[in-house]
Amino acid sequence: MLSKILDKFEWLKKVKLVELNEIDTSEDPVRPELDNWFRQQYGRKIYGLQDRDEIVAVMCFAFTNEVPASVEELDTMSKQAHTESINTAQAQGKIAIAYTVWSRKRGGGQKIVEEVFKMIKQSNHLTRLVTLSPKTEMARKFHTKNGAIELRENKNTVNFEYVFNE
């Protein structure tokens, strides 16, 4: 029985993290209203988990120097961090704020969080990975199951943080 379960997730060993230029935003169950322009401006990034020729999970994040409580604050803070980085020739923002993550295949969401977390830990300028999550039980279970701690509950969102263990 256990070997059947393990075989079911064997595909996860062959995936790779790739940066994407755009996605079909209508597939985003968290923030479908945010277009590709928003997701690519001011240093914001879209990453996908690629299994052969298929993208099986997506995570979008922005770089900030503070933790936002809303998409509006995320927009303002990422613009500010981006502008500061241009003016000072320093890396943009020290906090990666994941504002949406979803998966097309079971296990893909957890795997993309692991891969992005590894990438952030290896960066020279990023010190934190924090989410801007919807206030849902599904988001709470997903992030706490994957090792995040609840940082702050806001009016319409929750921030979870993936803690760097050295």
- For the chain, the structural domain boundaries read 2-162
Angle formed by the axes of helices 108-122 and 137-145, nearest 10°: 60
CATH superfamily membership of 2-162: Malonyl-CoA decarboxylase, catalytic domain (3.40.630.150)
pLDDT per residue as tens digits for the range 142-161: 999 989 999 999 999 999 99
Cβ neighbours for 64, distance < 8 A, ≥ 6 positions apart: 74, 77, 78, 80, 81, 93, 95, 97
pTM of the model as a whole: 0.88
HSE-up of 59 (CA within 13 Å, CB side)?
26
Neighbours of 26 (CB within 10 A): 8
pLDDT per residue as tens digits for the range 53-80: 899 999 999 999 999 999 999 999 999 9
Q: Which helix (H) or strand (E) holds 136?
A: none
